[in-house]
Amino acid sequence: MNAVWREPLIPVVSFVRAYAKINLTLDVIGCRADGYHNLMTIMQAIDLHDTICLTAVDDDQIHLFCSVAELNTEENLAVRAAQVVRQRYAIKSGVKIEIVKRIPFAAGLGGGSSDAAAVLLALRQWWQLTISDAELLDMAAALGSDVPFFLRGGLALCEGRGERITPIASDWPPSLRWLLLLKPAPGISTATVFRSLPASDYTDGSCSRALLAALRAQQPIDPACLHNSLERGVLETYPFVAQAREDMLEAGAPLVRLSGSGPTLYAPFSELDHAQRAQEQLQRLGYEIYLTRAMPAA
């Protein structure tokens, strides 16, 4: 007898993409009374993404299946995002969240924050909630400092803890057309990196301001603007990151910078063939490499 395929009773499914980011600049301006740091950072979404599938369920639970086993926990920011929406708007329905993880985690690429923002946006639409942009931003900021940026993505200046977002309208500079990412094997804790940052690495925001001005005026980018206050300490504390940086320069990268608190490094290339040659050389050394580009805002 032939088996009969029956459609599940609950066919409501929604797929969304959650993009990674890099920090073009990261000025740490100072430490705050709440333990966080005031920042000026220019972030750009890139076309490396996780895929999230939301499915309706017939109970009132949030179910998670993540393709990376160690992220399959209640602490996953995507689950916390769904919990926040359910609680705040007294939603009775549950939801199943499946995540195909492609963005390396604990990497300085904002993967968990991006998943959370994607879930907030998807559930607002799915449950047809009238949530103002300000409320959404508030929920996002409560989940994590990088989450507000991912509500829009694209290119933006982020200030305060990271939650004050100013979108930047600019054509993407040709010198940054291709972005080669190298993810050294061990992850790094953001909290540890911030905690060990000496005040001598604080900056006054001038790098972010200079880059902002250059982007808005469509001027060539001065590499000195692409400053990350966390980079010096990370290179000094984690020799495997310093070695990876040397290997990227050796492979022809015109410049190499740390994204966020690392350990991912990125190198911009204007020509694809140069980027590809560097990619091949670094892959031969056994590195995890992604060749990517900037993603405009949705």
Chain residue at closest Cβ approach to ligand C5P: 145
146 is catalytic: yes
> How many CB atoms are closer than 10 A to CB 285?
14
- Cα separation of 190 and 150, whole Å? 18
Q: Smallest gap, in angstroms, from Cβ of residue 145 to ligand C5P?
A: 3
Look up residue 78 and give its two tokens: 């995507």
User: Can you spell out the DSSP letters for 55-86?
Assistant: EE-SSS-EEEEESSGGG-STT-HHHHHHHHHH
Residues near ligand C5P (CB under 6 A) are: 36-37, 39, 144-146, 161-162, 190-191, 194
Name the burial class of residue 17, with classes exposed (0-12), middle (13-18) and buried (19+) by CB atoms within 10 angstroms of its CB.
middle
| Nearest distance in Å: CB 11, ligand C5P | 35
Output the smallest distance, CB 19 to ligand C5P, in A.
Answer: 17
Q: Which is nearer to ligand C5P, 191 or 213 (CB)?
A: 191
Closest CB to ligand C5P among residues 160, 252: 160
* Separation between Cα atoms, residue 93 and residue 72, nearest integer Å: 21
> Would residue 222 show up in a list of annotated catalytic residues for this protein?
no
Smallest distance from ligand C5P to CB 184, Å: 19
Q: Report the nearest approach of ligand C5P to the CB of residue 1 (Å).
A: 55
Choose, from 27, 146, 183, 247, the residue flagged as catalytic.
146
Residue 202 CA: distances (Å) to CA of 30, 41, 108, 261, 291: 6, 13, 19, 14, 31
Both tokens of 121, joined, read: 């946006």
Measured CA to CA in angstroms, residue 281 lies from 73, 177, 286, 287, 296 at distances of 37, 20, 9, 9, 29
Q: Where are the beta strands (DSSP E) in the chain?
A: 13-31, 37-56, 62-66, 95-100, 155-160, 164-167, 178-183, 257-258, 265-269, 288-292
User: Is the Cβ of residue 8 or residue 30 nearer to ligand C5P in the bound state?
Assistant: 30
Nearer to ligand C5P, 145 or 264 (CB): 145
Q: Which of 204, 280, 228, 249 is nearest to 108 (CA)?
A: 228
Cβ closer to ligand C5P: 146 or 247? 146
- In the set 21, 96, 115, 247, the catalytic residue is 21
Please state the closest distance from residue 134 (CB atom) to ligand C5P, in A.
Answer: 19
Find the radius of gyration of the CA atoms of the chain: 20
CB-nearer residue toward ligand C5P: 84 or 248 = 84
User: 115 — alpha (psi -120 to 50), left (phi > 0) or beta?
Assistant: alpha
Active-site positions?
Answer: 21, 146
